[in-house]
Amino acid sequence: MRGKNLKVRLLIGAAIAIFFVLKKCSQQEVNPYTGRTQTISMTPDKEIAIGLQNAPQMAQQHGGLHPKNEYQAMVDNVGNKLVNNSIAKDTPYQYEFHLLADPNTINAFALPGGQIFITYALFSKLKNEDQLAGVLGHEIGHVLGRHSAERIAESEYWQGLTTAGSVGADMGGLISGIGQNTLLTNGRDDELESDDLGVLFMIKAGYNPEEMIGVMEILKAAAGPNRVPEFQSTHPDPDNRIEKIQEAIEKHRNKKD
């Protein structure tokens, strides 16, 4: 009887696994802005809705919006210039730029659909408008690259396989670990793709892309000497990002010429 039950569980687990593999295959699509094939389970309208729904909470977690209108206007001007002079203008996304009041957390991030944030802690360390363009261009790259939507779809896939493994042979922990490692690697790729797009956006808008290297130096200094090793982090090491940014600058400048 025990052997029969195990066989049934294995069959159910295999059926669940096949279902999620087929589902993932049906969700493959080519990003028209990057040319990369991705697993996407939601429409751009859904991405926009998620971003708008979560934007107030994200702002609240960082002390709300910065009260100085002059600073916010600068962020808006640079962000809109990047969008209006690049392929980002041709996307369905609704780009909005928010300067957060947080004076301590050096960070910038994007929600699905075009909600983009930069903390005052990072804003205050930037030396010029070109560096601000580097930060915002990178975040626009995350939106255009549909990275959040891709992560959501990949998470759904690995959760499905984890369920299949748990039902089939109590291998959920192993499969879940494989999934987490895959997501971690893809996260680093997302950052590098966004750096590449950010360089392109800067060049198109007339900003100096070399200043993005200065942004990396700021992030490197903020992390300090005890920063997390790259293999344990979802972000590439700043030194490696600088090397890739230099390659992107050469590539996109040659295309422009």
**What pLDDT tens digit does each residue of the chain (257 aa) get?**
555 665 655 565 555 555 445 545 545 788 878 888 886 778 889 889 988 999 999 999 999 999 999 999 999 999 999 999 999 999 999 999 999 999 999 999 999 899 999 999 999 999 999 999 999 999 999 999 888 787 776 665 445 445 544 544 444 443 344 343 433 334 678 889 999 999 999 999 999 999 999 999 998 888 766 554 433 334 567 778 999 999 999 999 887 54
Q: Which domain holds residue 92?
A: 2-256
- Please tell me the total count of domains within the chain: 1
* pLDDT in the model for residue 219: 87
CA gap 132, 212 in Å, rounded: 9
Look up the pTM and report it.
0.76
The rounded distance, in Å, linking the Cα atoms of 25 and 86 is 31
